[in-house]
Amino acid sequence: MAFPVPLTSALSGASVNQLAYWRKTTASSEPLLVPSAVKGGRFLYSWADVVALRTIVYLRQEKSLPRIRKAVSALVRLEESDWAHLARYRLIGTPTTIVVQTPQGRLMDLEKEPGTMLEHVLMRDVLEPFKTVDGRSVLGLANPKPNLSVHPGILGGYPVIAGTRVPYDIVAGLAEDGYNGADIVELYPSVAAAAVADAAAFAGVVAAAA
């Protein structure tokens, strides 16, 4: 499942401008994260891209972008033989450095002493709601709204009505076309009436990110 830029922004917490900047090559650095595909001139991100971007946004609460870029570059270099995607790794900010948890569960310093293996570090969950350094609220990834669900095993992580495989934007589109909750429930019996408002609200968040 492909995630267009506005939806990627809403789920990751990265602004559209940040996404554009992070996929550029600059005079001093490589792109921080390039989307998985481009179709018809539109950038399309993957589920792995969304998770990786959310990690970067989370780290930006405490670390500068140059420090994050440097840590990611160190990670790519250190994991060169096994590298696949940033989303396979869990980046954690500590007061003194940036640490990564590898797919094998190892903890490795990326900044203070790159490559040094660590025994323990306080883990933070980037999937929960949080605020960015500029005060924007980032929705929880697993449940961006109470009646919406995001899970990589269901439609590749595309937001759906909780407990169903019905994409949120289908329900939101019906609501925008004038269908009321009862009408939509009749069309999709698995969709709870309360989910209609949540789908419409999240569609508003995505539209505002565009």
Q: pLDDT higher for 174 or 84?
A: 174
Q: Which residues pair with 98 in a beta bridge?
A: 93
Radius of gyration of the chain (CA): 19
Q: Which of 57-66, 105-114, 189-198 has the highest mean pLDDT?
A: 189-198
The model scores a pTM over 0.85: no
Sheet holding 117-118, edge to edge: 90-93, 98-101, 107-109, 117-118
Predicted local distance difference test score (pLDDT) of residue 210 = 81
Predicted local distance difference test score (pLDDT) of residue 124 = 54
8 Å CB contact between 54 and 91: no
Predicted local distance difference test score (pLDDT) of residue 122 = 46
Residue 126 pLDDT > 80 = no
- Phi and psi, residue 32, nearest 5°: -75, -40
Task: State pLDDT tens for residues 69-80.
Answer: 889 989 988 888
8 Å CB contact between 57 and 132: yes
| Length of the chain (residues) | 210
Predicted local distance difference test score (pLDDT) of residue 119 = 66
Task: State pLDDT tens for residues 43-56.
Answer: 999 998 999 999 99
Q: pLDDT higher for 113 or 155?
A: 155
Q: pLDDT higher for 172 or 88?
A: 172
Predicted local distance difference test score (pLDDT) of residue 27 = 75
**All structural domains of the chain with their residue ranges:** 3-137, 142-209
State mean pLDDT over 38-65. Answer: 90
Q: What b/e sequence results for 101-140 when a residue is b if at least 16 CB atoms lie within 10 Å of its CB, and e otherwise? A: bbeeeebbbbbeebeeebeeeeebebeeebebeeeeebbb
Instruction: Tell me the DSSP string of 36-80.
Output: SEEETTEEEE-HHHHHHHHHHHHHTTTS-HHHHHHHHHHHHHHTT
Distance of alpha carbon 85 from alpha carbon 89, whole angstroms: 8
Residue 130 pLDDT > 90 = no
Distance of alpha carbon 155 from alpha carbon 158, whole angstroms: 5
Q: Write the CA distances from 145 to 115, 155, 157, integer angstroms.
A: 39, 17, 15
Residue 17 pLDDT > 90 = yes
Name the fold adopted by 142-209.
Arc Repressor Mutant, subunit A (1.10.10)
